[in-house]
Amino acid sequence: MNAKDYFIGLNTSVCTGPSDVRCKKQALRRNDYGYTFGGPIVKDKVFFFWSEEWNVERRGAVRHDWVPSAQERNGDFSDLIPANCPAGISGGPGVPNFPAGTTSSQGVLTSGNVSPVGQAFVSQTPLPTSSVCGQYDWTAQVMVPLNWREESIRGDIKITKNNNLMLKYAQDAWTNPLHASANGEAGLWGTQDFPAVSDAWSQPSKMAIARLTTTIGSASVNDFQFSWSDSNIGIARAGDNPALGTSIRAAIPTVFPISGKLHSSDLPLPVCWCSTFFGIQSPWANRQDLYNWKDDFSRVTGKHTFKFGALYGRSAKDEEQGLEAGGFWGAGGYQKVSWDGGTSNFYGDMLLKGETWGGQENARNVLADIRWRDLEFYAGDTWKVHPRLTVDYGFRWSFIPPEYMEKNDWSVFSLAAYNPALGNQACSDSLREDPRVDNRQCGRVAVAWVEAFE
C-alpha cells in the first residue's frame, strides 16, 4: 500500500474510490524556458547582458461546495425531504422552511413565489456531481493556468578611467487568465470557486536602474543611483461562460443609476458573503510607481572608513475603492427585516420571492490617488581601533510625511476646528487633510572583537 491509498482509506466518507475525482491527485504541470547571452560591444569599454525566461504552469484545483440541483433552481426542494434522503442530511442543509402560503407542497414553491433575480444569481453555480443529501454535492478539479515571463537587460559603460555607468532594465508579466479563486491556488483573493464566471488576473511590472560610480583619488568612491519601479494589477471578466455574468447583472437592479458607475459599461456581479462565497471583482485595477534618487560617498582615512549619503523618494499609487456593484451578506426575513434566520436554507432564501437581504452599494467607485515622499540623510564611520577591535557607529535622519491624495479629497474631522455657524459650507475647516510630518532620528553603535585568528 502506498501513502495515497492509505489516506484515501482514511477518508472513505469523502472519497469513495480511485475513480472519484476527490481521490485523484491534483494535476500539476510546470515548464520553464529561458536563455541568456552577453558580451562586449566595445572592447574594455561597453558590455551588455540579456536574459529572458518563461514559466508555464497548469495547476489542478479540487474545489467543493454545496450547490442547488436543477429542480431546486426552480423552487422545488422536495429532493431534500426525508423520503428522498433516507440516510438523512449529512452535514448539508435540510428542506427550507418556506412561509405559509408560498408552497404547493413541502419544500416546493409555487411559480409565483420563485424569485427570478434569485434564479439568475444561482445560475452561475454548477450542477451537483453527487447526492444533494451530502454536505458538498459538487466536487470538481478546475484547471488554473498560470503564466509568467521576464526580460532583463544590463549594460556597463566605462566612461573614463574613474567613471563607470551601469544601466539595467527588467520587466515581467504574471497572468492567471482563467479560474482565479479565493482558495489560494494562485495566491489571490475575492473570487468565487465556480468556473462559469470568474476573474482573469494580470500583474505586469517594470524596473529601471542607472548608477554612476566615480573613483575620487585613491581613497574615495561616490555612487549616485536613480531607480524606478512600476507595478500594476488588472482584473478582467473571464470564466467558462463569461457572457453569463452579463445576463445575471442585467437581472439584478442597482440602487444607484448604472450610468453614474465607474464601470457602467461592464459592471461586476454583486458579491455575496454567504455560506458559499459568490461573486467576482472584475473589472478592477491599481498601479504603483516608485522613484528613488540616492547618493553614497565613502572615504578611507587612516583607520577610518567614513560614509555619507542621502535618499529622496517620490511614490504614487492609484487604486479603485468602493463596492459600486453591490453586495449581500444574509437574508433578513420574508417581506420584512427581522433577521429571523430566513428559511434555514441558503438557496431557499435566495429563491424565495419577497425575502429581504442585508446589502450595500456605493454610488460609484472612486480612485484613491495616494502620494508620498521620503527624505533621508545618514553618516557613519567604521573605525579600526585595534587589529582585533572594530567600532561601527552612525546616525540617520528620516523625514516621512504622511501620504496625501493627489486630488486633495482625503480629510479627517477636527472637532477643535468645527464651526457650527458654517453649516454645510465647503469652506469649513473641520474637514481637512492631516498636516503631520514624521521626523525620525536614530543612532547606531556596533563593536566587533576578534578573540583569536590564524
pLDDT digits (tens, 9 = 90+) for 84-100: 887 666 666 788 999 99
Residue-level pLDDT at 373: 93
Residue 246's pLDDT band (cuts 50, 70, 90): confident
Rounded to an integer, the average pLDDT of 198-210 is: 93
- On the CB side of 54, CA atoms within 13 Å amount to 4
- Judged against a pLDDT cut of 70, whether residue 183 lies above it is answered with no
Backbone dihedral angles phi then psi of residue 10, each to the nearest 5 degrees: -75, -15
Q: Is residue 414 part of a domain?
A: no
**Cell numbers found for residue 166:** 551601469
Q: Is-contact 201 188, C-beta < 8 A?
A: yes
Which residue shows C-alpha cell 494535476? 27
pLDDT tens for 387-440 read 888 989 899 998 888 888 888 776 666 677 777 777 666 544 444 444 445 556
Residue-level pLDDT at 444: 62
Residue 243's pLDDT band (cuts 50, 70, 90): confident
Count of structural domains within the chain: 1
CA distance 123 to 133: 20
Which candidate, 19, 51, 26, 55, places its Cα nearest to that of 38?
51
Residue-level pLDDT at 179: 84
What letter would DSSP give residue 342? T
Cis? peptide before 283, omega within 30° of 0: yes
Residue 278, strand partner residues: 272
Q: Is residue 432 part of a domain?
A: no
Rounded to an integer, the average pLDDT of 277-301 is: 92
Residue-level pLDDT at 41: 93
Residue 186's pLDDT band (cuts 50, 70, 90): low
Angle, CA of 49, 54 and 59, to the nearest 5°:
155
* Count of positions (residues) in the chain: 454
Q: Is residue 168 part of a domain?
A: yes
Task: Answer whether 0.75 is exceeded by the pTM.
Answer: yes
Q: How far is CA 353 from the centre of its chain?
A: 35
Q: Is residue 370 part of a domain?
A: yes
Residue-level pLDDT at 431: 45
pLDDT tens for 120-141 read 999 999 999 888 887 788 888 8
**Cell numbers found for residue 87:** 440516510
Q: Is residue 76 part of a domain?
A: yes
Rounded to an integer, the average pLDDT of 440-448 is: 62
Q: What is the dihedral of CA 175, 180, 185, 187, to 10 degrees?
A: 60
Q: Is-contact 323 389, C-beta < 8 A?
A: no
Average pLDDT, the chain: 84
- pLDDT above 70 coverage of the chain, percent: 82
Rounded to an integer, the average pLDDT of 332-356 is: 88
CA distance 50 to 36: 6
Q: Is residue 16 part of a domain?
A: no
pLDDT tens for 137-161 read 888 888 889 999 999 999 999 999 9
Q: Is residue 302 part of a domain?
A: yes
Residue-level pLDDT at 435: 47
Which candidate, 264, 263, 267, places its Cα nearest to that of 246?
267
Handedness of CA 421, 425, 429, 432 (dihedral sign): positive
Query: Which residues constitute the domain of residue 147?
Result: 24-401+437-449
Rounded to an integer, the average pLDDT of 24-47 is: 90
Residue-level pLDDT at 168: 97
CA distance 256 to 322: 13
- Judged against a pLDDT cut of 50, whether residue 247 lies above it is answered with yes
Residue 124 neighbours by CB under 8 Å, 6+ apart: 192, 194, 196, 197, 244, 245, 248, 269, 278
Q: Is-contact 216 296, C-beta < 8 A?
A: no
Q: Is-contact 192 198, C-beta < 8 A?
A: yes
Residue-level pLDDT at 411: 62
In this structure, are strands 271-272 and 220-238 parallel, antiparallel, or unpaired? unpaired
Residue-level pLDDT at 443: 62
Residue-level pLDDT at 348: 92
Q: Is residue 245 part of a domain?
A: yes
CATH (domain of 311): 2.40.170
Higher pLDDT, 159 or 446: 159
What is the CB neighbour count within 10 angstroms for residue 41? 12
- Judged against a pLDDT cut of 60, whether residue 203 lies above it is answered with yes
CA distance 181 to 191: 5
